[in-house]
């Protein structure tokens, strides 16, 4: 349909271009109308040879005499002019003269431009672009057919859970003959990049039905009522094809829990949500339409969405474990020329990587190999890619960095690394560098966390200490006045983690086992108590971090000096520094 539209547009565009060209050519070729004195005109008038006069208020008038000859003469500007020539039987045209050779291309140009404009306005459905994604879905739907469950590595439970949705899409009649109700709505939830969209596409591909994708954010921030009508259009379109998978990404944008005070919600969102619910209950069982939606957080969604008959099947798509990571890496490396790569090793190194991040890693490695003109992608390329994925590209031009800043960065990173080695010895610190990245970090310390299902309180506190290590080292070495902005993202993460401990994980005293979210609006008094507890926790941890660093000053100097010399240190060099100063003091209990 879209291609056809484009073809239809070609004709008026060509006509418009030809018209413009002929107008330009015309103005070059055509000789301007000759000028004759007013007396000549009067003579012609007297001899009855004037056929018509083009009479306007302009200084010149155009005169037509026999044999289609035209000339210009001066406008006499007398009130009785028109009457006097009319009485002599001359036609008076109150318009300026235009050659028919010019009129034709102008008319053609005008009508083709008009045609194009009307077509474009109609095509865009008067919307600001977004609705086009619904319009242009058909083409996309065909493309996606190629994906199937083989394109999704790992995620076995999730695949298992959608298997019968595929079966239902293939034979909706079978299910309805048993009186079985199939889910109309499936919610896929999990962290970004874990393959929720991929899984939905695979369902459509396996069932061989069209795939309609929209994003919840397309429906908000438009005029009231537009969101709802977009929903209706989407369903109408999908139904016109019979079976289909409708995929709504970021469903939370329209289906977020309504806030406590009922009147305060956004009307537009409610209307859109209601339209969605109405449409979903509107189609018959045997129609074979399944709505799949994705969100990062299931607990944010409005209960109305999750009720039976709506999105009643909830499937978690989780971050891949080490085996799944190996499968995903294998899948994405399949068609690339890799050399002796130990994929199992890389799967181990990439804990907490999502499928999308793994794909990104493999792709970056391929780019590095290509830049090197290496025939095969090797471990070193994956190494560089890993750094890029985790920390961003290295800044190439570093000449402008002041020596003083390099030193501060070196101690800051040494602080992180040293605290990590001491309080989290089971985690490998794979790299410390003071090479700034294009993402804005002055340097970074990279450690490889273990795959863990849960994080316990002790571990979380230790992680916070590692985060605080950078600022603490700065303060110890250069004094309170010289601390820098370099720690801002560390402090942000610290604050976030501590807050979560107290308000969400039930690990604090001010709320105990209660969670802030469920309690709703807290009184000022309670908010202050939470704030106090956050502040005390971070102060205590910071004090311990400073103590640990002071007790291990030699290691700190050693790591920083090495960093200043080599810029980047691996695990081995780091351990060398700490071995010399090996009696690690026991952590103070908090």
List residues binding ligand ADP (CB under 6 A): 152-155, 192-198, 294, 328, 331, 355-356, 359
Select 199 or 434, whichever has its Cβ closest to ligand ADP. Answer: 199
CA distance 278 to 265: 19
Rounded to the nearest whole angstrom, what is the least distance from the CB of residue 250 to Zn ion in the complex? 31
Distance in Å, CB of 543 to Zn ion, minimum = 18
Beta carbon of residue 201, minimum distance to ligand ADP (angstroms, whole number): 8
Q: Kindly report each contact of residues 198-202 with a partner whose C-beta sits within 8 Å and lies 24 or more positions away, as own/partner.
A: 198/147, 198/151, 198/152, 198/355, 199/152, 199/155, 199/158, 199/159, 199/162, 199/317, 200/245, 200/247, 200/292, 200/294, 201/144, 201/147, 201/151, 201/247, 202/147, 202/148, 202/149, 202/151, 202/152, 202/159
Burial of 423 (0-12, 13-18, 19+ CB in 10 A): buried
187 binds, among Zn ion, ligand ADP, none (CB under 5 to 8 A by kind): none
Measured from the CB atom, is 49 or 148 closer to ligand ADP? 148
DSSP string, 145-171: TT--GGGS-S-HHHHHHHHHHHHHHH-
Contact (CB, 8 A) for 106 and 20: no
Which of 362, 366, 367, 368 shows the shortest CA–CA distance to 346?
A: 362
> Which of Zn ion, ligand ADP, none sits in contact with 225, Cβ below 5 to 8 A by type?
none
Residue 364, both tokens: 């970056």
Between CA 385 and CA 361 the distance in angstroms is 6
Q: Can you tell me the distance from the alpha carbon of 184 to that of 171, in angstroms, rounded to the nearest whole number?
A: 14
Output 198 or 569, the one with its CB closest to ligand ADP.
198
512 is in an annotated binding site: no
Measured from the CB atom, the residue of 99 and 488 that comes closer to Zn ion is 488
Which of 12, 172, 442, 470 is in the footprint of Zn ion by CB under 5 A? 470
Question: Which residue lies nearer to Zn ion by CB, 193 or 470?
Answer: 470
Judge whether 411 and 473 are in contact, CB under 8 Å.
Answer: yes
Q: Are 581 and 555 in contact (CB under 8 A)?
A: yes
Active site residue 533: no
Q: Give least dist CB 532 to Zn ion, A.
A: 26
| Segment 517 to 546, residues that bind Zn ion, using CB under 5 A | none
Q: Which residue has the tokens 């004090």?
A: 543
Indicate the residue whose CB is closest to Zn ion: 470
490 binds, among Zn ion, ligand ADP, none (CB under 5 to 8 A by kind): Zn ion
What does 331 interact with, of ligand ADP, Zn ion, none (CB < 5 to 8 A by kind)? ligand ADP
Query: How far apart are alpha carbons 219 and 269 in whole angstroms?
Result: 8
Work out how close the CB of 338 gets to ligand ADP at its nearest, in angstroms, rounded to a whole number. Answer: 17
Which partner from the list Zn ion, ligand ADP, none does 387 bind, CB cut-off 5 to 8 Å by kind? none
Residue 192 annotated as lining a ligand binding site: yes
Applying CB under 5 A, the span of 214-222, 234-242, 250-258, 469-477 interacting with Zn ion comes to: 469-477
Q: Does residue number 443 form part of the binding site for Zn ion (CB under 5 A)?
A: no
DSSP letter at 438?
T
Is position 174 annotated in a ligand binding site? no
Measured from the CB atom, the residue of 191 and 547 that comes closer to ligand ADP is: 191
Comparing CB distances to ligand ADP, the nearer of 152 and 424 is: 152
309 binds, options ligand ADP, Zn ion, none, Cβ within 5 to 8 A by partner type: none
| Residue 220: CB minimum distance to Zn ion, A | 36
Q: Indicate the residue among 63 and 198 with the shorter CB distance to ligand ADP.
A: 198
Whichever of 255 and 470 has its CB closer to Zn ion, that residue is 470
Find out whether 197 is annotated in a ligand binding site: yes
Shortest separation between residue 356's beta carbon and ligand ADP, angstroms: 3
Q: Which residues pair with 73 in a beta bridge?
A: 61
Exposure pattern of 125-164 as b/e (b: 16+ CB <10 Å)?
Answer: bebeebbebbbebeeebeebbebbbeebbbbeebbebbee
Sheet holding 60-65, edge to edge: 34-35, 69-74, 60-65, 50-54, 91-93
Q: Is 415 in the site for Zn ion (CB under 5 A)?
A: no
Residues 214, 234 contacting (CB under 8 angstroms): yes
Which entry of 206, 326, 359, 413 is annotated as an active-site residue?
413
Binding partner of residue 185 among Zn ion, ligand ADP, none, CB cut-off 5 to 8 Å per kind:
none
Are 357 and 349 a contacting pair, CB within 8 Å?
no
Q: How far is the CB of 294 from ligand ADP (least distance, A)?
A: 5
Residue of 327, 490, 502, 577 that binds Zn ion (CB under 5 A): 490
The answer to whether 196 is a known ligand-binding residue is yes
DSSP conformational letter for 338 = B
Measured CA to CA, the distance from residue 202 to residue 204 in angstroms comes to: 5
State which residue has the least CB distance to ligand ADP: 355
Q: Which two tokens stand for residue 382?
A: 């994956």
| Closest CB 198 distance from ligand ADP, rounded Å | 4
Residue 73 CB contacts under 8 Å (≥ 6 apart), including other chains: 35, 36, 37, 38, 40, 41, 60, 61, 63
Please choose which of ligand ADP, Zn ion, none residue 161 contacts, taking the beta carbon within 5 to 8 angstroms, the exact cut-off set by kind. none
Report the Cα–Cα distance between both ends of the chain, in Å, rounded: 67
Which partner, Zn ion, ligand ADP, none, binds residue 196 by CB below 5 to 8 Å per kind?
ligand ADP
Task: Name the strand (E) or helix (H) holding 542.
Answer: helix 524-551
Instruction: Cite the active site residues.
Output: 413
Please state the residue numbers annotated as binding site for Zn(2+). Answer: 412, 416, 490
Please state the residue numbers annotated as binding site. Answer: 190-197, 412, 416, 490
The binding site for Zn ion (CB under 5 A) comprises 470, 490
């Amino acid at each position: 349909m879209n291609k056809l539209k484009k073809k239809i547009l070609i004709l008026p565009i060509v006509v418009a271009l030809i018209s413009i060209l002929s107008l330009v050519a015309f103005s070059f070729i055509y000789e301007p109308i000759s000028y004759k004195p007013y007396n000549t005109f009067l003579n012609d008038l007297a001899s009855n040879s004037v056929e018509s006069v083009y009479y306007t208020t302009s200084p010149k008038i155009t005169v037509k005499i026999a044999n289609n000859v035209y000339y210009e003469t001066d406008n006499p500007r007398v009130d009785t002019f028109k009457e006097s020539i009319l009485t002599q039987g001359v036609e008076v045209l109150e318009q300026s003269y235009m050659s028919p050779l010019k009129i034709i291309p102008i008319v053609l140009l005008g009508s083709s431009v008009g045609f194009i404009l009307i077509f474009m306005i109609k095509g865009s459905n008067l919307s600001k672009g977004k609705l086009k994604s619904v319009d242009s879905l058909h083409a996309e739907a065909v493309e996606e057919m190629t994906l199937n469950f083989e394109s999704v590595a790992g995620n076995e439970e999730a695949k298992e859970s959608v298997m019968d949705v595929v079966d239902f899409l293939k034979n909706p009649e079978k299910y309805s003959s048993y009186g079985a109700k199939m889910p109309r709505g499936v919610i896929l939830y999990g962290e970004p990049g874990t393959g929720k969209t991929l899984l939905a596409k695979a369902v459509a591909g396996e069932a061989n039905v069209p795939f309609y994708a929209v994003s919840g954010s397309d429906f908000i921030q438009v005029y009231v009522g537009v969101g709802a009508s977009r929903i209706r259009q989407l369903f109408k379109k999908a139904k016109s094809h019979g079976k289909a998978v409708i995929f709504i990404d970021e469903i939370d944008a329209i289906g977020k829990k309504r806030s406590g005070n009922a009147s305060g919600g956004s009307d537009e969102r409610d209307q859109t949500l209601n339209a969605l619910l109405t449409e979903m209950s509107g189609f018959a069982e045997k129609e074979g339409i399944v709505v799949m939606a994705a969100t990062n957080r299931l607990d944010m969604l409005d209960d109305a969405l999750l009720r039976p008959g709506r999105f009643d099947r909830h499937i978690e798509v989780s971050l891949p474990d080490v085996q799944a990571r190996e499968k995903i890496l294998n899948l994405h490396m399949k068609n690339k020329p890799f050399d002796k790569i130990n994929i199992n090793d890389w799967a181990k190194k990439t804990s907490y990587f999502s499928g999308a991040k793994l794909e990104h890693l493999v792709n970056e490695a391929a780019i590095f190999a290509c830049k090197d003109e290496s025939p095969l992608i090797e471990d070193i390329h994956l190494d560089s890619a890993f750094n890029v994925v985790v920390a961003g590209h290295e800044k190439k031009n570093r000449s402008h960095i002041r020596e003083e800043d390099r030193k501060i960065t070196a101690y800051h990173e040494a602080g992180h690394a040293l605290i990590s080695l001491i309080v989290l010895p089971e985690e490998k610190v794979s790299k410390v560098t003071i090479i700034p990245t294009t993402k804005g970090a002055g340097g970074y310390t990279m450690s490889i966390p273990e795959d863990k299902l849960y994080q316990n309180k002790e571990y979380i506190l230790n992680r916070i200490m590692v985060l605080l290590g950078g600022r603490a080292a700065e303060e110890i070495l250069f004094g309170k006045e010289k601390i820098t902005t370099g720690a801002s993202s560390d402090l942000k993460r610290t604050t976030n983690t501590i807050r979560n401990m107290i308000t969400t994980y039930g690990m604090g005293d001010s709320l105990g086992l209660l969670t802030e979210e469920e309690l709703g609006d807290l009184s000022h008094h309670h908010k202050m108590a939470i704030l106090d507890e956050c502040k005390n926790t971070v102060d205590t941890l910071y004090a311990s971090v400073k103590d640990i660093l002071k007790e291990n000053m030699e290691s700190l100097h050693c790591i920083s000096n090495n960093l200043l010399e080599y810029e980047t240190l691996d695990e081995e060099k780091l351990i060398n520094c700490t071995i010399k100063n090996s009696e690690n003091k026991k952590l103070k209990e908090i």
